[in-house]
A = this chain, B = another copy of it.
Amino acid sequence: MSKEIKVSPRTPKGFIEYLPEDQILFSEMFQKIRSTYELFGFTPIETPATELTEILLAKAGRETDKQIYHLAKKGEQISLHFDLTVPLARYVAQHYDKLTFPFRRYQMQKVWRGERNQKARFREFYQCDIDVIGSNNLLVDAEIPSVIHAVFVALGFSNFTIRVNNRKVLNGFFEHLNILDISKEVLRIIDKIDKIGKESVSKELQTLGLKKDKSDAILRFIDIKGDNADTISQLKLLGANNTTLNEGIVELETLCRYIEMFGVPAFCYKIDLSIARGLDYYTGTVYETVLNDYPDIGSICSGGRYDDLASYYTNKKLPGVGISIGLSRLFFKLREAGVIQPSKSTPSVVLVSQLDATYLPNCLDIARKIRAKGINAEVYFESDKIGKQVKYANRLKISYVVIIGEQEVLSGKISVKSMITGEQRLMTVEELTGLIAVTE
């Protein structure tokens, strides 16, 4: 069957896959995010990987269009989704009458973007989104940071900051400066402040035709510092008598009071007036989240409030709030920084080894009893020397090797070798499963 010409086995550029040890670690993070979302009563939905191209393009700008993977197939023109927000909008518009609002949904799927190939810029990656659709209530905005907090605590982090802002504050301030017509350009420049610094932002602002006094005012504005109460005070002291700005300040103040009520520790959230997020989309509260020890990773969880989710597909007005965790990128960055490390290459906690084929029925019976307690266990089927079997357990980082021979069968017990301590003891199956229930 061997062919002369082989196709060299490799993945397409920009598409990533992991060895089992990393895949297990990735899956664990995925499941923790999932179960935390469910803990807060978010309900799962899953949309197809593809949408009709006209659905995707209804909203997508030209920049996004370039990134879309279209499928070359006769019949309907379909494309791979590039985010989970457009599919959500289409889903809610399509199934509106069958959904209960406020609609709390989570969605954790791959999305595809034909981006230029750069390091840690994947063409296929997971997004883990939650949204609450159909409520204007600021309590919903305040719940989001409590979910973000719970997720990152579940993932083992403690030193992170959820940065919050409100688009009305920004927009109102721009109205006040009479630069609302170029706010998109201004926001795009402000958004780069972490990357390029104040001076470059000031320069870029002036290339927009802004006088120095206005670009200074903008820089002073986004430079407002202090704790949340200070920030609110300084915003009020701006004395800019603008309705939108004042509304934004009140919302931001209320939001902070609510977030506290939701039990998020004070050191975990902070007003940051430099956060703008998506240019057209967000209309109220916006969020970014940073790991304070790894600022280079950038925002690991972002989102905000929008007025109208699905205006391209329905006349129903659907306000909401949502966030997204780009898990593939986060995983890659954390792994690269050595923050997370794989610890096992198999879900198996126990390897039942095989000393002698005679005792195989006993081995299988023991494995069944261990699994009956919900503990992952595999049996070594090859007739290899015990040393090779232990080596296999060692390579896969399996914690316990069970050995069954004449002595064990006669005594009704099993020999258990701990791969962590190297110690070997005779015990009952129940003692082993009890031990694992405590330690794993």
Contact = CB atoms under 8 A, between A and B. Distances in A.
Interface of A: 1-3, 6-13, 15-20, 23-24, 26-27, 38-52, 54-55, 58, 69-73, 75-76, 78, 80, 90-91, 93-95, 98-100, 102, 104-105, 110, 112, 114, 124, 135, 137, 139-140, 143, 150, 261-263, 307-308, 310-315, 345-348, 351, 360-361, 364-365, 368, 371, 374-379, 381-382, 392, 395-396
B347 A38 contact: yes
Given A6-B313, A73-B69, A48 B15 contact: yes
B17 A91 contact: yes
Contact of A12 (B52, B104, B379): B52
A44 B3 CA distance: 30
Minimum-distance CB pairs A-B, first 8: A41-B378, A41-B348, A15-B48, A9-B94, A38-B347, A9-B93, A72-B72, A9-B313
B311 A3 contact: yes
Contacts of A15: 48, 50
Given A23-B44, A314-B6, A345-B43, A12 B50 contact: yes
- How many protomers of this protein does the assembly include? 2
A102 B384 CA distance: 12
A7 B58 contact: yes
A311 B3 CA distance: 7
A92 to B, nearest CB: 8
A15 B80 CA distance: 12
Contacts of A76: 12-13
Contacts of A71: 69-72, 80
A94 B348 CA distance: 24
A17 B41 contact: no
A300 to B, nearest CB: 21
B378 A40 contact: yes
A46 B18 contact: yes
Contacts of A73: 69-70, 114
Given A69-B71, A361-B261, A135 B382 contact: yes
B27 A44 contact: yes
Contact of A10 (B46, B94, B112): B94
A51 B8 CA distance: 12
A252 to B, nearest CB: 18
Contacts of A69: 71-73
A105 B20 contact: yes
Contacts of A39: 371, 374-377
Contacts of A16: 48
Given A6-B315, A70-B73, 19 more contacts: A1-B308, A9-B91, A9-B94, A9-B314, A10-B52, A11-B48, A15-B50, A17-B47, A23-B45, A24-B43, A38-B376, A39-B375, A39-B376, A39-B377, A42-B347, A71-B72, A100-B345, A100-B392, A139-B381
